[in-house]
């Protein structure tokens, strides 16, 4: 025995000491592990006559719902230390800083110090098909003609509700992590810019896309209850002419897992979040120009979403590595317009970031879809909201032009008065969850930008690269972050990198310093407080004046009824006279219900959140105030044969007293065979 111990590098005394130590450890209590909880809430805003967020098109306004938007929250508590973290995945274009501020204030009022700026991560899936106007900064509200308080409040209310539900759900559980690759759900839409990165660096990564997928598998008491999947691809499967609220391909992936997989197994409380990564130059439109793998935006949403869902389920089912160890986090606010970047991150010399500005290519759009930004150069009257701001688009001083070079400046957003049009004080956050690290990043990082930051964090913490998760579009939004090499190309991504050529190295330095503080157990300075613009908002949106029906018609009455019978795969369409959806957002509810007679009563089988249904709101007469709800249901191939009906729910505003009244109507009963 002693000989064996020596052969393994131990003396006999050391072996006896190790045996005694093992005996003591055997009777000590095991690590308490984690508590985990999940929650989900509706965050869908105004479904009609509101400018949409993402494509920056003045004529893209909401006119119905394809799939609702949701907040999905996951709380993890370290029972040893009591520390906790919450990650919320939101079906939004962005999580703007005003939303982050309002959520933190509401959480503090409700939970005290349980949740705060350090341990709350609010991330967006980056769908481009949701109502806009929920930023407190002007650049992101110009296509919505200003601020939309109702949409903002719907988002904040829903996020807080999802966190409260997850907090109430916490119970002993565990988390497993798995990794995989997905190669047929994205392409690089800015390949010439990407190819400016060093050849040796590109060859190490093999692909011009980031195919990596990380999945967390949550269970409570041995029962699977949820997953988070991080994968980088834009939320632009739905076109820039689409007027329907949609959570896009990641929303479909979430529905697929929750409803078609776990729901059909009888587990209707499973929550699946499909989160975004470093997707700045990643598009799901495999043909570019807004299309691919088909020419049908609904099919593209389904196909790209299903590919993500199926790959995530494969990784989920094979995940065997248990996440264990302490929870810790570091967060600080940084004025990104004045970061001094050290030589080790800035090509051997000291460089600085710049006051925010966007370049001319910002107005040109991307290779995946050329844009229009709602104004003509130098002509404020092209957009009345911009005209009301009373500012000048141009006029950046020479020092800013030199700092931003080679970017030709279109709008110096950081210099506008009385307030900048984009935020400069931004949150950077790094969370340690056992052997994993989560980078919460406030913008659209290209895949190479994200890779560089992940490598830096991994090396600093001494963990594998795959164990660093990049969570983009988190806690605030500040445009794009391209590498210096990509910046020099001044494609859309470089032109939209607000703080100049050294923006990505500045972030790399900041996350390195957070990782050092995490590793060494040292605090970090909180940094400057971001400004609060909640009381400084302007809106040119008009409210609902009144709703009417044509003479001899009533609200909820059918204008087009269903047929008598349909086969599976066919589409049923019914039209109702209705009121304006702004009268009642029906958050947590529905504008439609597809129902089947089960022998005892009507049972709902689909609503306005279902992929197979569409709720369209159509203005018929703007002067008289008439409108229709046009509802369609594409009957699924696996629909149960039987008797069905379609019901519409809405609300109308009385023109005499301004009261809001509910309405409903039903189609005839029809058979599905």
pLDDT tens profile 89-121: 999 999 999 999 999 999 999 999 999 999 999
Residue listed under structure tokens 């310093």: 513
State mean pLDDT over 279-293: 96
- CB-CB neighbours of 13 under 10 Å: 10
Between CA 237 and CA 302 the distance in angstroms is 9
State the burial class of residue 61 (Cβ atoms within 10 Å of its Cβ: 0-12, 13-18, 19+): middle
Q: Under 8 Å CB-to-CB from 635, ≥6 apart: which residues?
A: 566, 567, 568, 569, 570, 571, 572, 612, 672
pLDDT tens per residue across span 19-32: 443 333 333 334 46
- The string of pLDDT tens digits covering residues 332-346 is 999 999 999 999 999
Query: Residues, the chain, total?
Result: 673
CB-CB contact of 294 with 300 (8 Å): yes
Span 143-149, average pLDDT: 92
Q: What is the domain partition of the chain in residue ranges?
A: 1-30, 35-326+425-476, 558-672
Please give the structure tokens belonging to residue 249: 């391909």
Reported as a pLDDT band with limits 50, 70 and 90, residue 510 is: very high
Token pair, residue 228, equals 């988070």
Q: Which of 406, 494, 378, 419 is nearest to 140 (CA)?
A: 419
How far is residue 519 from each of residues 83, 333, 464, measured CA to CA in Å?
17, 20, 15
pLDDT tens for each residue of 460-472: 999 999 999 999 9
What Å distances lie between residue 531 and 3, 98, 363, 426, 481, CA to CA?
A: 69, 9, 27, 10, 22
Task: Give dist(CA 345, CA 348) in Å, integer.
Answer: 7
Residue 457 dihedral angles phi and psi, to the nearest 5°: -65, -45
| pLDDT in the model for residue 620 | 98
Alpha helices in 521-665 (DSSP H): none
Cross-strand bridge partners of residue 73: 39, 88
Mean per-residue pLDDT for 112-132? 98
Q: Which residues of 522-548 are buried (b: 16+ CB within 10 A; e: fewer)?
A: eebeeeeebbebeeebeeebeebeebb
CA dihedral 135, 139, 142, 144 (to 10 degrees): -30
What is the rounded CA–CA span in Å between residue 162 and residue 534? 22
Specify the pairing of strand 444-445 against strand 480-481. Answer: parallel
444 bridge partner residues: 480
Q: Is the pLDDT of residue 407 over 50?
A: yes
281 contacts 101 by C-beta, under 8 angstroms: no
Percent of the chain at pLDDT exceeding 70: 91
As a whole number of angstroms, the distance between CA 115 and CA 112 comes to: 7
Q: What is the 3-state secondary structure (H, E, C) of 309-344?
A: HHHHHHHHHHCCEECCCCEEEEEEEEEHHHCEECHH
Mean pLDDT of 441-453: 98
Q: Considering the chain, what is the average pLDDT of its residues?
A: 92
Residue keyed to tokens 């992940």: 454
Measure the CA–CA gap between 670 and 673, rounded to whole angstroms. 10
**In this model, does residue 392 exceed pLDDT 50?**
no
Instruction: Please state the pTM of the whole predicted model.
Output: 0.92
Q: Is the pLDDT of residue 382 over 90?
A: no
In this prediction, residues 47-53 reach a mean pLDDT of: 97
3-state secondary structure of 663: strand
Is cis: bond before 509, omega within 30 of 0?
Answer: no
Burial degree of 416 (CB within 10 A; 0-12, 13-18, 19+)? buried
> Could you read off the pLDDT of 306-320 as tens digits, one per residue?
999 999 999 999 999
Separation of alpha carbons 45 and 474, rounded Å: 20
Using an 8 Å Cβ cutoff, are 371 and 364 in contact? Answer: yes
The strand pairing partners of 475, in sequence order, are none
Residue 394 has pLDDT above 70, yes or no: no
User: Cα–Cα distance between 409 and 424 in angstroms, integer?
Assistant: 17
Q: Rounded to 5 degrees, what angle do the CA atoms 52, 373, 99 make?
A: 45
Angle between helices 248-255 and 297-318 (to 10 degrees): 50
Number of H helices, E strands in the chain: 14, 36
Alpha helices, H only, 272-431: 297-318, 384-389, 398-404
| CA separation for the pair 509, 352 (Å, rounded) | 12
pLDDT digits (tens, 9 = 90+) for 619-655: 999 999 999 999 999 999 999 999 999 999 999 999 8
pLDDT band of 363, cuts 50, 70, 90: confident
Per-residue model confidence (pLDDT) at position 384: 58
Inter-CA distances, 572 with 181, 252, 549, 568, Å: 39, 21, 24, 10
- Alpha helix locations (H) across 438-502? 447-461, 484-489, 492-495
Q: How far apart are CA 197 and CA 452, in angstroms?
A: 11
Q: What is the pLDDT of residues 173-204, one digit of tens each?
A: 999 999 999 999 999 999 999 999 999 999 99
**How many CB atoms are closer than 10 A to CB 472?**
27
Could you tell me what percentage of the chain is helix, strand and coil, using 3-state DSSP and rounding each to the nearest 5?
30, 30, 40
Q: Which long-range contacts (C-beta less than 8 Å, at least 24 apart) are formed by 615-619?
A: 615/47, 615/64, 615/65, 615/591, 616/63, 616/64, 616/244, 617/47, 617/48, 617/63, 617/64, 617/578, 617/580, 617/581, 618/63, 619/49
Buried b (16+ CB within 10 A) or exposed e, 319-336: beeebeeebbbbbbbbeb
Indicate whether 375 pLDDT > 70: no
| Superfamily classification of domain 558-672 | Neutral/alkaline non-lysosomal ceramidase, C-terminal domain (2.60.40.2300)
Cβ neighbours of residue 433 closer than 8 Å, sequence gap 6 or more: 76, 85, 175, 323, 327
Q: How far apart are the first and last CA of the chain?
A: 77
Closest CA to 630 of 660, 606, 608, 654: 608
């Amino acid at each position: 025995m002693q000989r064996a111990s020596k052969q393994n590098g131990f003396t006999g005394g050391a072996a006896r000491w190790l045996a005694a130590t093992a005996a003591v450890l055997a009777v000590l209590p095991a690590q308490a592990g984690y508590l985990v909880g999940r929650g989900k809430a509706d965050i869908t805003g105004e479904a009609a006559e509101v400018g949409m967020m993402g494509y920056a098109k003045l004529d893209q306004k909401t006119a119905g719902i394809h799939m609702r938007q949701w907040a999905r929250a996951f709380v993890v508590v370290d029972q040893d230390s009591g520390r906790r973290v919450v990650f919320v995945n939101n079906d939004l274009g962005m999580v703007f800083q005003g939303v982050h501020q309002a959520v933190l204030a509401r959480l503090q009022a409700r939970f005290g110090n349980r949740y705060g700026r350090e341990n709350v991560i609010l991330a967006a899936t980056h769908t481009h098909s949701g109502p806009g106007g929920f930023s407190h900064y002007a650049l992101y509200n110009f296509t919505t003609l200003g601020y939309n308080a109702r949409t903002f409040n719907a988002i904040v209310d829903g996020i807080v509700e999802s966190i409260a539900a997850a907090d109430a759900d916490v119970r002993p559980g565990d988390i497993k992590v798995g990794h995989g690759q997905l190669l047929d759900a994205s392409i690089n839409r800015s390949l010439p810019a990407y190819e400016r990165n060093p050849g040796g660096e590109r060859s190490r990564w093999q692909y011009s896309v980031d195919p990596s997928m990380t999945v967390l598998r949550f269970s409570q008491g041995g029962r699977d209850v949820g997953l988070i999947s991080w994968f980088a691809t834009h939320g632009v499967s739905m076109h820039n002419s689409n007027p329907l609220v949609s959570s896009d391909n990641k929303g479909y992936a979430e529905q697929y897992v929750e409803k078609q997989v776990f729901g059909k197994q009888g587990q209707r409380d499973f929550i699946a979040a499909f989160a975004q990564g470093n997707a700045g130059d990643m598009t799901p439109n495999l043909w570019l120009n807004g299309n691919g793998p088909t020419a049908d935006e609904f099919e593209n949403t389904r196909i790209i979403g299903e590919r993500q869902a199926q790959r995530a389920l494969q990784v989920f089912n094979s995940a065997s590595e248990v996440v264990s160890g302490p929870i810790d986090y570091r967060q600080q606010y940084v004025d990104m317009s004045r970061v001094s970047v050290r030589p080790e991150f800035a090509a051997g010399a000291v460089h600085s970031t710049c006051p925010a500005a966007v370049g001319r290519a910002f107005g040109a759009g991307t290779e995946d879809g050329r844009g229009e930004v709602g104004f003509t150069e130098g002509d404020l009257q092209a957009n009345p909201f911009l005209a009301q701001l009373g500012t000048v688009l141009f006029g950046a001083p020479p020092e800013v032009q030199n700092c931003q070079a080679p970017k030709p400046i279109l709008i110096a957003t950081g210099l506008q008065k009385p307030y900048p049009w984009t935020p400069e004080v931004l949150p950077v956050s790094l969370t340690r969850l056992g052997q994993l690290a989560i980078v919460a990043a406030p913008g659209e990082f290209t895949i190479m930008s994200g890779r560089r930051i992940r490598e830096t964090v991994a090396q600093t913490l001494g963990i594998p690269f795959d164990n660093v998760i990049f969570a983009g579009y988190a806690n605030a939004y500040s445009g794009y972050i391209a590498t210096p090499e990509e910046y020099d190309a001044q494609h859309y991504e470089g032109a939209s990198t607000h703080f100049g050529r050294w923006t990505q190295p500045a972030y790399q330095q900041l996350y390195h310093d957070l990782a050092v503080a995490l590793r060494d157990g040292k605090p970090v300075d909180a940094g400057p407080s971001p400004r609060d613009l909640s009381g400084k908002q302007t809106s040119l949106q008009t409210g609902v004046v009144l709703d009417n029906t044509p003479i001899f018609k009533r609200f909820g009455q059918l204008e087009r009824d269903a047929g008598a019978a349909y086969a599976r795969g066919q589409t049923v369409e019914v039209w109702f006279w209705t009121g304006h959806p702004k009268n009642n957002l029906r958050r947590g509810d529905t504008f439609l219900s597809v129902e089947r007679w089960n022998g005892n009563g009507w049972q709902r089988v689909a609503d306005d959140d279902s992929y197979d249904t569409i709720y369209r709101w159509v203005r018929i007469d703007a002067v008289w105030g008439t409108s229709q709800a046009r509802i369609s249901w594409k009957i699924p191939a696996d629909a149960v044969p039987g008797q069905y009906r379609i019901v519409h729910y809405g609300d109308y505003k009385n023109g005499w007293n301004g009261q809001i009244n509910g309405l409903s109507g039903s189609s005839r009963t029809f058979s599905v065979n």
